[in-house]
Amino acid sequence: MWDSVAARADPALFGAMADASPDLFFYKDSGLVYRYVNRSFCALFDIDSSEILGRVDDDAFPQPSARRHRQADLAVLASRRSQTFEYVVERGDRSVWLQVLKTPVLGTDGAVEGIFCVARNITAIKAAEDQNRRTVAVLERDAVDREEELRRTNEELRRLAAERLKAEKALEESHRSLNCIFENSPIGIAFVTDRIVRRANPRFHQLYALEPGQAVGLPTADFYPDAEAYEAFGREYYPALGAGERVDVVRVMRRHDGTEFWCRIIGQVLDAARPQDGSIWLMEDVTERRLAEEATLAAERLKREFMDNMSHEIRTPLNGILGMAEVLSAGLTDPQQREMLETLKDSGRSLAALLENVLDFARLDAGDVVSRRAAFSLVNLIEGVAASFAGAAMQKGLHLSWRAQPSTPELVVGDGGGLRQILAALVSNAVKFTDAGAIEIVAEARLPQAASRDGQATVLVSLAVHDTGIGLAPEQISAIFAPFRQVDGSKTRRHGGAGLGLAIAGKLAAAMGGELAVDSEPGRGSVFRFTAPFEVQTTTDS
């Protein structure tokens, strides 16, 4: 170990001796902070002593060099023994090899006070060693290269010959496979350049009522109903085709015999970098599919027209019956006759409600409902629905109440009419299937997991209807939102209705981007919960 007594006794003499040496002398304390560097150190790394003293390697050297210094220092501190290291140190545009002897400096108490380092620039030696190694390696390789060169050349020629033969066979097999697919494809295929057919498969000829080989050389204009259709197709799709995009459209095309058909056309250039090299086109007759789609749309249209007409035809006489029943009730005094007339009016109103439900379901099923967005008060809406069913609940001896949690906003933006219809269906269902106890409407709101796309404040509004009714079995819950389904499907069931209320509510919920769920247990009641996102209406918005 280095004895620091001499350096401490006469630091000037030690400094003069160290500065006169071509080797590098430097000292670090136990915290690896530089406390002394000689002139050779400063000259080699082009650094002033003031720039390094009191600092660590990370302050003066790039990270890789600082890491090598630190790893060596830590090894000496851990072993408390002198060790010699060789590593590269970079600074600025300089890169040198150092051979460094690192010696721990012990204090009087035996603790390591620092590390004294003596380093020698061995860059030239390393370069010479490296050059010698390369020279020896070159000489050794040269001795066998000439012998190996001929052998490798012969092996390479044999390999290339074998690979060429293999590639030729693979290319031939691929060509046969592609040609087989091309010739037997159920889809018409044509290769086109400059809007001229250069090659077409048999199905393409069948598709356009052509004799085998007759399509080759024909301009693609011959396959369009008229010149305008041909020009319009080019204007609309050829720019995208030239940009390397795929074209996939359905158009009316014309066969060689003059008949027209619906054709699905898929096209793409062979090389996006060279669109002038041509394009490949796939064509399929989709006339039957198109006609089937049109027939389906026509059937839907006829169904809607039928429902509209029937609703008018049924509603008109029904309103007349109800109107005349109201007129008769004003002039009747006999209690039995008035009771019979009330039964008539109740039946008429039930029939009118059923008619409205059937029409609503038909519109929802056809996707004809448009959600209307407007600001409305949640509290007023809930209060209004509860008030409308208060009489029916009272007649059955039920306690109907509602409450809004503090998280419920005063004003929201959304489809208030749809929400009112959903809540009314849930409350009506609760009143119908609850014979004793209570019904409670609970409103609350919470922040959604994802923010609104347009930056508006959004909340998830939840309306839950709790009842103490008959409840539902698990197998009944799965079908509760299906149309025309009743909890009790027997002819002698106690509760009336067509089974459309919850089906309509479920479809309205989906149209509003929400969901309708139920939690129930037989004999213990049910909880129907509707949840959907609504924007919060602020005072500045209003």
Sign of the torsion formed by the C-alpha atoms of 273, 276, 278 and 279 = positive
| 256, burial (CB in 10 Å: exposed 0-12, middle 13-18, buried 19+) | middle
pLDDT at position 63 over 80: yes
Q: Give whole-number Cα distances, 440 to 14, 390, 400, 481, 508, in Å.
A: 96, 12, 6, 21, 22
pLDDT level of residue 3 (50, 70, 90 thresholds): very low
The mean pLDDT of 14-42, rounded to a whole number, is 88
CATH (domain of 87): 3.30.450.20
DSSP string of 333-396, one letter each residue: --HHHHHHHHHHHHHHHHHHHHHHHHHHHHHHHTT---PPPEEEEHHHHHHHHHHHTHHHHHHT
Lowest mean pLDDT among 172-181, 258-267, 436-445, 501-510: 501-510
β-sheet bridge partners, residue 191: 199, 280
Q: What residues contact residue 309 under an 8 Å CB cut-off, 6+ apart?
A: none
Whole-structure pTM value: 0.41
Q: Which long-range contacts (CB under 8 A, 24 or more apart) does 294-300 make?
A: 300/366
Contact 420, 384 (CB under 8 A): yes
DSSP string of 48-110, one letter each residue: -HHHHTT--HHHHS-HHHHHHHHHHHHHHHHHTS-EEEEEEEEETTEEEEEEEEEEEEE-TTS
- pLDDT, tens digit, 9 for 90 and up, residues 321-379: 777 777 777 767 777 777 777 777 666 665 665 566 566 555 555 555 556 778 888 88
- pLDDT, tens digit, 9 for 90 and up, residues 449-496: 555 555 567 888 888 999 988 888 777 776 666 654 555 544 444 554
Residue 267 lies in a domain: no
Same domain, yes or no: 453 and 342: no
pLDDT at position 304 over 90: no
- DSSP reduced 3-state for 253: strand
- The mean predicted confidence, pLDDT, of the chain is 82
Rounded distance between C-alpha atoms, residue 442 and residue 423, angstroms: 11
Residue 293 lies in a domain: no
State the DSSP H helix or E strand holding residue 489, giving kind and residue range, or none if neither: none
Same domain, yes or no: 44 and 77: yes
End of a domain among 335, 362, 389?
362
pLDDT level of residue 252 (50, 70, 90 thresholds): very high
The mean pLDDT of 51-69, rounded to a whole number, is 91
Same domain, yes or no: 350 and 484: no
End of a domain among 362, 388, 411?
362
What pLDDT, on the 0 to 100 scale, is given for residue 76?
Answer: 92
What would the two tokens of residue 86 be?
Answer: 């060789």
In what side-by-side order are the strands of the sheet with 34-37?
34-37, 24-29, 112-121, 94-106, 83-91
Same domain, yes or no: 21 and 86: yes
Q: What residues contact residue 144 under an 8 Å CB cut-off, 6+ apart?
A: none
Same domain, yes or no: 427 and 527: yes
pLDDT level of residue 140 (50, 70, 90 thresholds): confident
CATH (domain of 450): 3.30.565.10
Contact 86, 98 (CB under 8 A): yes
Same domain, yes or no: 446 and 335: no
CATH (domain of 331): 1.10.287
- DSSP reduced 3-state for 265: strand
End of a domain among 95, 127, 159?
127
Same domain, yes or no: 312 and 428: no
Residue 218 lies in a domain: no
Same domain, yes or no: 402 and 345: no
Amino acid at 403: R
Same domain, yes or no: 325 and 421: no
Same domain, yes or no: 310 and 439: no
Same domain, yes or no: 391 and 425: yes
Give the count of domains, the chain: 3
pLDDT at position 127 over 80: yes
DSSP string of 266-281, one letter each residue: EEEES-TT-GGG-EEE
The mean pLDDT of 62-67, rounded to a whole number, is 91
What pLDDT, on the 0 to 100 scale, is given for residue 1?
Answer: 37
State the DSSP H helix or E strand holding residue 302, giving kind and residue range, or none if neither: helix 287-331
- Range(s) of the domain holding residue 326: 303-362
Same domain, yes or no: 376 and 330: no
Residue 197 lies in a domain: no
pLDDT at position 437 over 50: yes
pLDDT above 90: percentage of residues in the chain: 30
- pLDDT, tens digit, 9 for 90 and up, residues 503-535: 777 777 787 888 888 888 888 888 999 898 888
Residue 21 lies in a domain: yes
Rounded distance between C-alpha atoms, residue 64 and residue 518, angstroms: 65
Residue 26 lies in a domain: yes
Q: What is the DSSP-derived secondary structure letter of residue 22?
A: S
Chain centroid to CA 139 = 62
Residue 151 lies in a domain: no
Rounded distance between C-alpha atoms, residue 311 and residue 484, angstroms: 19
Tell which residue, 213, 198, 165, has the closest CA to residue 173: 165
Sign of the torsion formed by the C-alpha atoms of 510, 515, 516 and 520 = positive
pLDDT level of residue 116 (50, 70, 90 thresholds): very high
Phi, psi of 260 (to 5 degrees): -110, 155
Lowest mean pLDDT among 178-192, 424-438, 486-500: 486-500
What would the two tokens of residue 334 be?
Answer: 């006999």
Contact 425, 498 (CB under 8 A): no
Residue 165 lies in a domain: no
pLDDT at position 192 over 70: yes
